Amino acid sequence: MSILITGAAGFIGFHLCSRLIETGENIIGFDNLNDYYDVNLKKARLLKLKQSSSKKNNFYFFKKNLENLKDLNEIFEKYKPEKVVNLAAQAGVRYSLENPSAYIKSNIVGFGNILELCKVHNVKNLIFASSSSVYGGNIKMPFQESQGVDHPISLYAATKKSNELMAHTYSHLYNLPCTGLRFFTVYGPWGRPDMALYLFTKKIFNDEPIKVFNNGEMMRDFTYIDDICESLLRLLVKPATKSSDYKNEDPDPSKSWSPYRVFNIGNSNPTNLMDYIKVIEENIGKKAKIEFAEMQPGDVKQTFSDCKELEKWIKFKPNTSIEYGVKEFVSWYKGFYSS
C-alpha cells in the first residue's frame, strides 16, 4: 500500500514520514521546498528521511507544487496511493498579511487539486490539516468542534475554514472519506523557525531580546509533535464515516451524513506564554531579555482545545507536558546547530 504525504519536508510531515517509514509502507513524500523559512532545515529533514529509509527503500520524494495538477496527477497515476495526508500549505498567520496570494495558491487551489485527484483515483482515506486559527473571534473556551467558525480574523484561517468546506463537498458528492484536523500550536524537535519556541530559543542562546506580544498576556494550547503523530497514525487506520447522530435540523459542523469529520487536536491544557518562556529559560540555563509589544493583527489571546471527540474516535489524547517537550526541543536545537 502507498501513502502520499504532502508537506513531507515540513515539521509535521517529516515526523509522520519518519514514523511511517518504520512500518514498511511505501511513503510518497511531496513538498515544494519553498523559502518561507530556512530551506536548509527542510533539506536536513529530507536527508534524515532518506537515510532512515535506505534499508527498506520505501520513501520516494518529489519536489513539486500542489498547484500543478498535471505533476500531481502523474504521482497519483504512478503510485496509486490509497491514503493521503495533506499537510502541505502556506503556513503562518502573520505572513498572510504580507503575501495573501501565496495562501490562495497553495491552500485553496492546491487543496482543490488534492480533492479532485482523491476523487478520480478512489482514495480510501483523506486526512488534511486545518488549524485552531479557524476559531477566529470565538471567545467561549474551550474551543469545541461544534462551535460555529464563520468569523476568521486572518486570511490563513479563512483558507483553512475553506478547506473544511471544500472537503465536505467532495465527501458528500463522491463519498470521499475526509478527516480535518484543527492543530493547536504544535512544537518539538525539528520545529518551524517561525514558531515561538524556535524563535525564543535562538534569541536567548544569542543574547538577543525576544519580542513578547500583548505584554505576555497570552495562553496557548501547546501540543507536542509525538502526540500529533500518534493521532495521525491512528486516524490513518480509521477513516471518517457517516455520523448516525447527525441532525439536519440541528447541524453539527464537525459531523455529517457524509463520511466527514473534523477534530481538534491539542493538549487541552493551555499554558501562559510567560510560564512557557520560564521553561525555555530553565532548559537553556539563561534568562531571556524581553521586549513587550502590542497584540499582532490576526492573532488571538488564547487557544484551548476540547479533544473529547478525538479521544472517543481514536482512543488517544495528546498529553505530553511542556516540561518534557521543551526539554526535547532544546536538546535537539543544541545538537543540530553545534554540528
End-to-end CA distance of the chain: 37
Using CA atoms of 277, 333, 329, 270 in order, give the dihedral in degrees to the nearest 10.
30
Q: Counting beta carbons within 10 angstroms of the beta carbon of residue 248, is it exposed (0 to 12), middle (13 to 18) or buried (19 or more)?
A: exposed
Would you put residue 80 in left (φ > 0), alpha (ψ -120 to 50) or beta? Answer: left
All three cell numbers of 179: 478527516
**How many Cα atoms are found within 13 Å in the side-chain-facing hemisphere of 268?**
15
Report the alpha-carbon distance of residue 145 to residue 158 in Å, rounded.
16
- Quick check: 293 and 273 in contact, CB under 8 A? no
What 8-state DSSP symbol labels residue 107?
I
3-state helix, strand, coil in the chain (%, to 5): 45, 15, 40
- Quick check: 278 and 299 in contact, CB under 8 A? no
All three cell numbers of 184: 493547536
Alpha helix (H) ranges present in the chain? Answer: 11-23, 39-52, 69-79, 95-98, 100-103, 111-120, 155-174, 196-205, 225-236, 273-284, 308-314, 322-338
C-alpha to C-alpha distances, 274 to 8, 73, 245, 268, 271, nearest whole angstrom: 32, 47, 42, 18, 8
Report the alpha-carbon distance of residue 94 to residue 96 in Å, rounded.
5
Q: Counting beta carbons within 10 angstroms of the beta carbon of residue 32, is it exposed (0 to 12), middle (13 to 18) or buried (19 or more)?
A: buried
The catalytic residues are: 156
